[in-house]
Amino acid sequence: MDGPQGNETRKQASYWRRVLRVTAALVALWAGVTVFFPWLALELPDTVAGFPLGYWVVAQGALLIYLAIVVGYAMVMERLDARYRGEEPAPPQERTLG
């Protein structure tokens, strides 16, 4: 017998499975960037002020990727929350300069 409680419990379980999948994928991306990019930087030969240029480039690129991970997570979670609440996601705010 599935009443309102049973449907709500299934809905919550589905929501949390999706949240865990998104979180696991983004943590895997974060770990890959953190480990794999510096490893690739070892192959770049140039130096600047005695430091390997590859590490400078990787450090800046990794920061941009980390920022993209955070923004992507926020956007996905906003859509997911709206979907499971039964609402449409809010449109992006229009900004005016001036």
pLDDT at 35 over 50: yes
Confidence (pLDDT) at 86:
74
Contact 40, 62 (CB under 8 A): no
Is 13 inside any structural domain? no
Which two structure tokens, joined as six digits, stand for 5?
């409680």
Q: Is residue 12 part of a domain?
A: no
- Domain hosting residue 48, numbered range: 29-87
In-domain check, residue 56:
yes
When divided into structural domains, the chain yields a total of 1
| 49 in a structural domain | yes
pLDDT surpasses 80 at 18: yes
For residues 28-51, give the mean pLDDT.
82
| CA-CA-CA-CA torsion sign (29, 27, 60, 78) | positive
| Sequence letter at residue 11 | K
**How confident is the model at residue 98, as a pLDDT?**
54
pLDDT tens digits for range 43-67: 777 776 777 777 778 888 899 999 9
| Domain annotation covers residue 57 | yes
> Mean pLDDT in the chain?
81
Per the domain annotation, does 94 fall within a domain?
A: no
